[in-house]
Structure 1
Amino acid sequence: MKAIAKARIESIDILRGVVMAIMALDHVRDYFHYGSIFGDPTDLKTTTPILFFTRFITNFCAPVFVFLSGTSAFLYGSNKSKKQLFKFLFTRGIWLIFLETIINNFIWTFDITYSIHIFQVIWAIGCSMVCLSILIFLPRKIILAIGMLLVAGHNALDGIVVQGHSFQSIVWDVLHHENVLVSGSGHIFFLHYPLIPWIGLMALGYLFGTFYQKDFDATLRKKWLLGLGLGSLVLFLVLRGLNVYGDLVPWSVQDSRTKTILSFFKVTKYPPSLLFLCITIGPALLFLYAFETIKTKVTDFFLVFGSVPLFYYFLHMLVIHVFAVIGLVITGGHWQDMIITAKGFQSQQLLTYGYPLWVVYLVWIGVVLLLYPFCKKYMLYKQAHKEKWWLSYL
């Protein structure tokens, strides 16, 4: 039974490692591709199939990351009291919010004035953990009902838009409506991760952890993984085909078959629609089904990244941004342009900046390979020092 428990945890870390490696592709694209800072790679008027796919494949990252954060919370609390789990989730959630607003914002911009504030996935995970710290005291059936309601029902709120910059409108933007706000002092606030569906997704991820309890039958778990994974994909196809609910933007027939297919799969991430979560979490569950007992050099490679997700996240963003600065210097640009300030953003100083997509892929592969030894060393350090409580926050 001990060996089985280890395999279960490894399959989760392998999945997390795969999506985190893919996540680096999206962030390299952000800093290296032509027009990426101001353009939309899913805009059907300007995109290409390979560019669309480059963005689409990275859609798996945030929802899987959030979902598995809930699962990890359950596994962490499996031998803890509810009070101990509450303390961990609440304090770690606050810690993640701090890291997002102070450390991550600086890494993304290199702006010491903090004129740009970007609220992204670390922020969403932190806020969701704080909420989960309270939800854990409820019966599991109630947690399931709340999670399903937030994930499946939040699209019913899509038509609600609170205009202006009042307190009520800002609260609504934080909860459900993606927005970019500019303060009177010129600071820009990117509210990309409205919280309602992310809180629900983490709650469902928490309950998903029950499948990985030590006494849970492995055969039954695989049946659940297969059924839930396929069910999510079928739900996506049915709802997307009906085109009546589940996403902010319906698909439509375009001037070519290729663009029509792209329109069908162009689902909303901000906030993540029901269909967005179906098409991302479904394959993730099938991945866990397929890789539960598989162990190869390839899975060991991704296991390293999945074992140290927070360390990897901040390190890969720092490396990508530094590489972008170096790239500007090499190509004769001004490295200061890669210090992204509110003034520079509004003046679109990087509007014509960027490299071809093949450069993006080369840099991505280089970043992932470069980070591997550092992540492996840190993983081994964590394994050798499990008694250090503070490592659970990093």
Structure 2
Amino acid sequence: MDIYSNASNNDHKNDAQLRTKRLVSIDLLRGLVMVLMTLDHTRDFFSNVRFDALDIEKSNILLFLTRWITHLCAPSFIFLAGVAAYLSLKRGKTKQELAHFLLIRGFWLIFLELSIVSLAWTFSPGIFMAGVLWAIGWSMVVLALLIQFPMRNIAIFGVLLIIGHNLLDSVQAKQLGNFGWIWSFLHERTMFISTSGIRFFLVYPLIPWVGVMVCGYAFGYVMTKPKTQRLRWLQNLGWGLIFSFVVIRGINIYGDPQPWLVQSTFLKTILSFINCNKYPPSLAYLLITLGIAFLLLYIFEKQNLSFLKPLIVLGRVPLFFYIIHLWLIHFSAILLALPKYGFKAITLPYLSSRAMPENYGYDLQYVYLVWIVIVFILYLICNWYAKYKVKNKSWWFRFL
């Protein structure tokens, strides 16, 4: 069956419902991955670990999984941004209005990434981080240019970017001379350092992430279908992507620049198998993370999980949450470090474990405790903001 065929009478009924009702499952998933993201960033600022948490030889199972589970965040967040863009059409926007909004929103996110967000990460005006908001912003700009094309073509374009981009792994920016920076922008994680000492850390190359958002936009059509159809698509796609991950990763030829290896124990071999490349996200990485995301959406659609209601609050103010959580984590790290390091705590390089004092940081159980406290504070702030946003309909709320 062609899912992009002409809308039926049921489609028109669903459109009318979508104009007045949000899909709670999307807010739930968005809220969940934001809480997981907070765990990852809390670990960045508070952990006493001096090595990569995904280093199988040095890490332990809990530390490894604490880092690995947060891989769900960026793919889910960017995919859902694409879904939300499509759903906005069903809430009354024209394609021209949506394209205009995506362009403004995209460039606004890029600006926030290179200003408020970069400063929140490092407290250094000379360091710029091109992270997840950078990727979302540029993906929105590209999507704004694509939405006039037929939906089928948009979906094919997104899928090809995800499936085929690992064919480009052998291309290196240094091979392209003066044009190498363009390739870094598209497909290679890079640190640029100017002669004046300004640093630009390009964390999220764009090609695969654009594909994720474009696929999210195309999948938005499925999310407008009746619930029984949505459930069938979510379940089949979730298990299908996970099965594809197992097959492609098992063949160990294509889909990730880092092959898995047989380790000294079966458990470590499993960890090697699921440890996929994130910068840029490999095909294997996206298959497993988006597969899990689809299954979570399926669960949230199917079950009435009222105890997860606080996640809905967080999921409805994602940008506000993202900006606030970084500042809160960084200030909290400074506050806890002040008794030991004095005012030097303000300038500690929290994101560089090698440059931190040897005795800095906390064991993982204390990192989890700090995370719980920070999430609770964030919920209180976001709950207040969500209520304030409902009472105040100013236009600028669309951009926060």
TM-score tier, shorter chain, comes to over 0.9
Structure 2 counterpart of 1:15: 29
Whether 2:335 is the aligned partner of 1:326: answer yes
Taking the aligned partners of 2:255 and 2:352, their CA distance within structure 1 comes to: 33
State the shift of 1:164 in Å: 7.6
State the shift of 1:351 in Å: 5.9
Which stretch shifts more, 39-48 or 196-205? Answer: 39-48
Taking the aligned partners of 2:245 and 2:201, their CA distance within structure 1 comes to: 29
Whether 2:75 is the aligned partner of 1:63: answer yes
State the shift of 1:287 in Å: 1.1
Letter of the 2:180 partner, please give it.
S
Taking the aligned partners of 1:24 and 1:272, their CA distance within structure 2 comes to: 20
Q: What per-residue deviation string (whole Å, max 9, x for no partner) do you get for residues 132-157 of structure 1?
A: 11011111111011101111110110
Residue in structure 2 matching 1:75, options 55, 64, 87: 87
Taking the aligned partners of 2:272 and 2:342, their CA distance within structure 1 comes to: 38
Residue in structure 2 matching 1:282, options 291, 294, 305: 291
Structure 2 counterpart of 1:245: 254
Q: Secondary structure at the match of 1:118?
A: strand
State the shift of 1:35 in Å: 3.9
Gaps of 5+ in 2: 1-12
Q: Secondary structure at the match of 1:138?
A: coil
Report the aligned-residue RMSD: 2.2
Whether 2:386 is the aligned partner of 1:382: answer no
State the shift of 1:53 in Å: 0.3
Whether 2:234 is the aligned partner of 1:228: answer no
Q: Secondary structure at the match of 1:163?
A: helix
Structure 1 counterpart of 2:303: 294
Which stretch shifts more, 244-253 or 165-174? Answer: 165-174
State the shift of 1:201 in Å: 0.3
Taking the aligned partners of 2:221 and 2:215, their CA distance within structure 1 comes to: 10
State the shift of 1:381 in Å: 2.2
Structure 2 counterpart of 1:365: 372
Residue in structure 2 matching 1:107, options 89, 104, 120: 120
Q: Secondary structure at the match of 1:190?
A: strand
Q: Secondary structure at the match of 2:192?
A: strand
Taking the aligned partners of 1:220 and 1:273, their CA distance within structure 2 comes to: 29
Q: How many residues align?
A: 385
Q: Secondary structure at the match of 1:291?
A: helix
Task: State whether residues 115 and 341 of structure 1, in contact with CA within 8 Å, keep that contact through their aligned partners in structure 2.
Answer: no
Question: What TM-score results when the alignment is normalised by the length of structure 2?
Answer: 0.91
State the shift of 1:390 in Å: 1.7
Taking the aligned partners of 1:126 and 1:360, their CA distance within structure 2 comes to: 31
Structure 1 counterpart of 2:399: 393
Which stretch shifts more, 100-109 or 171-180? Answer: 171-180
Q: What per-residue deviation string (whole Å, max 9, x for no partner) do you get for residues 99-142 of structure 1?
A: 0000101111112xx22111100111011111111011111111
Which stretch shifts more, 174-183 or 98-107? Answer: 174-183
Residue in structure 1 matching 2:219, options 188, 208, 213: 208
Task: State whether residues 35 and 353 of structure 1, in contact with CA within 8 Å, keep that contact through their aligned partners in structure 2.
Answer: no
Letter of the 2:344 partner, please give it.
Q
Taking the aligned partners of 2:231 and 2:352, their CA distance within structure 1 comes to: 48
Structure 1 counterpart of 2:104: 91
Distance 1:341 1:18, change over 3 A: closer
Structure 1 counterpart of 2:189: 178
